[in-house]
Structure 1
Amino acid sequence: MLRGRVTLTQVAEAAGVSVGTASKALNGRGQLSPATRKRVRDAARALGFDQGTSESLTGGRSLIVGVLSTDSYGRFTIPILTGAEDTFGAGEIAMLLAESRGDPIRERHYVQTLRSRKVDGIIVTGRSSDARASLTSLIDVPTVYALSPSTDPNDISVVPDDAGGATRAVEHLVSTGRSSIAVVVGPSRHLASAHRVAGALAALEGSGARLAGGHALYGEWSERWGYEAAGRLLAAGPFDGVFCASDQIARGVLECLRDHSVSVPAQVGVVGMDNWTVIAEAARPSITSVDLNLRAVGRRAAELLVRTIMGDDVPGGIEYVDCSLVARQSA
């Protein structure tokens, strides 16, 4: 038993679950397995957790959280919102969504709107992992940045580990016997490109495999660029693996290889990134891809936001969430 007041966070850590899951287990909510509920309750009992003084994630308070996004398509925001809802739970915390379309004037307007609605905190998210300007001067409530980190190191940011995900992709290609691996990415100005190239090169170093062509190929986040890049690779010389920094690029690569009668994965293995299922599962062959685990990003961002709202001292900086490989037919 721990001395002092035991928190819900400590119970969650002891049970190996998220804070939101711990809250649901202790309050009989959510669709959890009996084993998970038992593990959480056993952990609470062992730690001496007093549910009567802290019955829920919010200590019994009803909160309103604003979500400010620049993602007009919802490709990135929806899984982050789903993860946040996992943490917030039904009935405890309501979310208000505002989408600025990347327009600073519209964003400032929505910040004022959320403040007028007296939100208890705000999650700021976007459509890329590029750093964005801090809203500290405009916001006087706890704020956490998800996917798109703040440029202010004092702000709390939660992002996918892009470099680690790229490393995992190339390691998978190496493990399947590939020895000459190309790296095809988006624009060099994007942080995602830089991080994914760095992770790919780190995996190649000491692996026995070489970087096909001697350098990464930078272009667009598009199938058209993937097709063009694959054509360049075919003209330049032999290769047996391609790491594509997005699934859109990977689909273009696959189309080009198919048009040139190159068999995937028999002759060339291809791994994408983002695990955009509408593309990865529809491609032929289906694309092995790295999932950014955006739902986990949303869960963690929500956990840190609630802790801040409830008065916990949460240090600023960037927290990275591990990516995972989803194996399909292309590698």
Structure 2
Amino acid sequence: MTGSADSGEGRLPARRPVTLRDVAEAAGVSVATASKALNDQGRMTAETRTRIREVARRLGFRPNGLAQSLLRRRSFTVGLLTNDTYGRFSLPVMAGISEALVDAGVSVFLCNVEDDPRLGQLHVEAMLEKRVDGIIASGKRLDRHLPVTLAGLGVPIIYAFTEPDPGSIAFVSDDAQGARLAVEHFVALGRRRIAHVTGPESFMVVHQRAAAWRAVLAEHGLGVPDGFYMSGRWSERFGHEAVAQLFGGPGEKPDAIFCGNDQLARGVVDALRERGLAVPDDVGVIGFDNWEIVAAETRPPLTSVDMNLSALGREAGLTLLSLVDGKAVEPGIRKLPCRLVVRQSCGRPPDG
């Protein structure tokens, strides 16, 4: 009987993995030279290094990740801890981190610790068991610690968009500068009665943004009428309620409203429309966060302050790579500037 099941007839031979020796032979160099070229080490001309890498790419050479890890005493993985279960802030931060790390061949190991200290500790222990090269901690707000301590772990730690431990390295958005952008834009548009509707005063950013709002108004000789500052929930409903109070009674009415987030701003825009007030002709509106699914879909589309979280994550990732490579980095908090994304909700200057 021929053609038995285990005779191997009709099967394609398994393709042998391309080795470093194959690359060296095809490039006409020694194995040592090929290794140095592919690992960006040793002295050789740029032309030789490029030629060897091109040969490796053409042959489909895949370096042995485990061998590289043992050689460099690195795992080429980074842990990312967050308690932002919704992902509104952590996802753009992570996108920036990944962008910074991918070119260095480093993968991100994401763990959501929610607000559970026990879960946080389990995830940290798992990261250390996997011998991550470092950890980046990110959160759902700037002024709250993650529910786990990261001190004394023996690996580099970077904080991004969360409250850091003393003496650590952290990247946060400059909320006061972002608020200034919004209010100064209103002033440049000729608005003079600028109200501020924001979130709970238990948030540090609420105080920072409100202080910047007041400071810009004072610098331009503009007062703050009674009732022009309103603090409440981060919700569209509170935006509705704020408009009812701002326009429902006697006294001066605002011609512009700077909101502490985009949900508030969307509620404000809807409530103004219900009162027969046109946005931006009668009242201009600017939000904060530039949450695309809210800002771009508001009618009219919402001008908003963008915290540049992707850029923040990228800076955090690059800094962690520097620490992993043994470079000295000065501890402290780095405040990264925001930018204003202008859409239709704030109006045009008086001259058009």
Same fold, TM-score > 0.5, yes or no: yes
Q: Residues 39-78 of structure 1 correspond to what in structure 2 (within 5 A)? A: 63-78=76-91
Q: Residues 50-129 of structure 1 correspond to what in structure 2 (within 5 A)? A: 63-90=76-103, 92-129=105-142
After superposition, the CA RMSD in angstroms is 2.4
**Structure-1 residue corresponding to 2:196:** 183
**Structure-1 residue corresponding to 2:63:** none
Q: Is the 8 A contact 2:75 2:133 kept in 1?
A: no
The yes-or-no answer on 1:310 pairing with 2:325 is yes
Number of residue pairs matched? 278
Structure 1 spans left out of the alignment, 5+ residues: 1-26, 28-48
The amino acid of 2:87's aligned partner reads G
**Structure-1 residue corresponding to 2:304:** 289
1:283 Cα deviation from its structure 2 partner: 0.8
1:213 Cα deviation from its structure 2 partner: 2.9
**Structure-1 residue corresponding to 2:293:** 278
1:214 Cα deviation from its structure 2 partner: 5.4
Q: Residues 211-222 of structure 1 correspond to what in structure 2 (within 5 A)? A: 211-213=224-226, 216-222=229-235
Task: Return the match for 2:280 from 249, 262, 265.
Answer: 265
**Structure-2 residue corresponding to 1:324:** 339
Q: Distance in 1 between matches of 2:235 and 2:285?
A: 16
The yes-or-no answer on 1:155 pairing with 2:168 is yes
Q: Deviations over 1:143-199 (max 9, x none)?
A: 10101121x330111011111000100011111111011011100001121111122
The amino acid of 2:158's aligned partner reads V
Q: Distance in 2 between matches of 1:219 and 1:241?
A: 18
1:89 Cα deviation from its structure 2 partner: 2.2
**Structure-2 residue corresponding to 1:299:** 314
**Structure-2 residue corresponding to 1:171:** 184
Q: Distance in 2 between matches of 1:74 and 1:274?
A: 13
1:210 Cα deviation from its structure 2 partner: 2.8
Q: Distance in 2 between matches of 1:188 and 1:215?
A: 15
**Structure-1 residue corresponding to 2:159:** 145
Q: Distance in 2 between matches of 1:174 and 1:160?
A: 23
Q: Distance in 1 between matches of 2:226 and 2:186?
A: 17
The amino acid of 1:140's aligned partner reads G
The amino acid of 2:222's aligned partner reads A
Q: Distance in 2 between matches of 1:224 and 1:138?
A: 44
Query: Is the deviation greater in 118-127 or in 207-216?
Result: 207-216
Q: Is the 8 A contact 2:194 2:228 kept in 1?
A: no
The amino acid of 2:286's aligned partner reads V
Q: Deviations over 1:102-156 (max 9, x none)?
A: 2222111111111111101001001111231673336321010101121x33011
Q: Deviations over 1:43-70 (max 9, x none)?
A: xxxxxx9xx8xx9xx9x86621000010
TM-score, normalised to structure 2, is 0.74
**Structure-1 residue corresponding to 2:56:** none
Q: Distance in 2 between matches of 1:256 and 1:91?
A: 49
Q: Secondary structure in 2 aligned to 1:124?
A: strand
**Structure-1 residue corresponding to 2:149:** 135
- Cα 1:91–1:308, aligned 2, differ >3 Å: closer, same or farther? closer
Q: Is the 8 A contact 2:134 2:157 kept in 1?
A: yes
The amino acid of 1:108's aligned partner reads Q
**Structure-1 residue corresponding to 2:266:** 251
- Structure 1 runs, 4 residues or longer, greater than 4 Å off: none
Bigger radius of gyration among the two: 2
Q: Distance in 2 between matches of 1:214 and 1:293?
A: 31
Q: Deviations over 1:50-108 (max 9, x none)?
A: xx8xx9xx9x8662100001011111111111111221124610110000112222111
Q: Is the 8 A contact 2:300 2:345 kept in 1?
A: yes
Q: Is the 8 A contact 1:182 1:213 kept in 2?
A: no
Q: Secondary structure in 2 aligned to 1:102?
A: coil
The yes-or-no answer on 1:228 pairing with 2:241 is yes
Identical-pair percentage: 39
**Structure-2 residue corresponding to 1:41:** none
The amino acid of 2:194's aligned partner reads I
1:319 Cα deviation from its structure 2 partner: 0.3
Q: Distance in 1 between matches of 2:324 and 2:224?
A: 47
